[in-house]
Structure 1
Amino acid sequence: MAMIVQIFLIFVTWLAHPFHVSVCDVEFNEKTKSLEISQRIFLDDLEEALRKKSGWTTLDVVNPSDKKRFDALMKEFVIENLSIEINNKPVKLSYLGHELESDAIWCYLEVTGVNNLTTIGVANSVLIDTFPDQVNLIHVKKEGKIRSLKLYRDNAKGSISY
């Protein structure tokens, strides 16, 4: 009986404190000498963060009332919260756009002119100000091999060396 009560309490605690996570995929494209970046963020979490940032009392990320204003807000939000260094030098992220996927949004970015990738540093603070338990997973793919970082409030930056 005690085991059932423990499982019930764990389940109720999990429901009361949902886990917040985003996933950022970075792929080095050697042919185009670029980084192709996509970041997946859950819609409900994003809405809450963007409401805080923008001051909008109502915001529907699925059907925004002002699409141009929303697109500009998304670009600003992603660029402010994601930065990358290649071989210890900061690079400029180009925001390409976003698209909806059921319960999430995918944001697409690119870094051009990457001739060689020996070290990549990533700082990702997406949603960290909104959710103290936010975890941002980073997966970097080079030559078919994937290496990952787990970033969170007290550790929002990491690096991978090849």
Structure 2
Amino acid sequence: MKKYIHVTWIFALMIFMSFADADFYSSMTKVDYLEGSKTLKFTTKLNTAHISDAIKINPNTASFEAEVKKYVNNNFDLYVNGSTKNLTFTGSQVNGESVWVYFEASGIGEISTIRIKNTILLSAFPKQFNLVNIAYKGNQKTMNFQRGKEVNEVSF
């Protein structure tokens, strides 16, 4: 019995150590529909070091926000009810290890489907995982994106 417990602890330690050096690459986007203004508001949280590496700019420089805007515009596409929607970048904020990016799509009426193409950081980090949570009129939908699955669609 003692040997069994010892082997179990060694196995558990090996599993723990296999994750110790692994970097976790992810982004998370929250999408809220504002019915009064018929706007989809997007808030994306990225790792500061990861986005800085991808766009090759120090986050403390004046041009960082402009480069983040360009990067998001090139790596995030929105289709509502089959129609392409323009995204308007409304700002970003560096907060330690996180960069918060804000953008929106206006003129959004009733939604039956939302399709998103999200390639944020996928070319820079092969194991990147992007999560998008959408709240629309009391309904919550979740989309996952990774290499090989850059496009996702949900219905309401």
Matched, 1:27 2:29: no
Q: Classify the secondary structure of the residue corresponding to 1:4.
A: helix
State the 1:145 CA deviation: 2.3
Which of 57, 60, 66 does residue 58 from structure 2 map onto? Answer: 60
Q: What TM-score do the two structures reach when normalised by structure 1?
A: 0.88
CA RMSD of aligned residues (A): 1.2
Which of 10, 15, 39 does residue 15 from structure 2 map onto? Answer: 10
- The residue that corresponds to 2:99 in the other structure is 105
Superposed, 1:120-135 pairs within 5 Å as 120-135=114-129
State the 1:6 CA deviation: 2.0
Structure 1 range deviating more: 103-112 or 7-16: 7-16
- The residue that corresponds to 2:153 in the other structure is 159
Q: Classify the secondary structure of the residue corresponding to 2:127.
A: coil
Q: Flag structure 1 segments of 5+ consecutive residues without an equivalent.
A: 52-58
Structure 1 range deviating more: 14-23 or 114-123: 14-23
- The residue that corresponds to 2:3 in the other structure is none
CA deviation vs aligned residue, 1:72-100 (integer Å, no higher than 9, x gap): 21111111111110001111000111012
State the 1:16 CA deviation: 2.1
- The residue that corresponds to 1:74 in the other structure is 68
| 1:104 alignment partner AA | S
State the 1:11 CA deviation: 2.0
| 2:108 alignment partner AA | V
CA deviation vs aligned residue, 1:38-69 (integer Å, no higher than 9, x gap): 11001121121122xxxxxxx431x22xx0x2
Q: Flag structure 2 segments of 5+ consecutive residues without an equivalent.
A: 1-5
Q: What TM-score do the two structures reach when normalised by structure 2?
A: 0.91
State the 1:149 CA deviation: 0.8
- The residue that corresponds to 1:48 in the other structure is 53
- The residue that corresponds to 1:92 in the other structure is 86
> For the pair shown, which has the larger CA radius of gyration, 1 or 2?
2
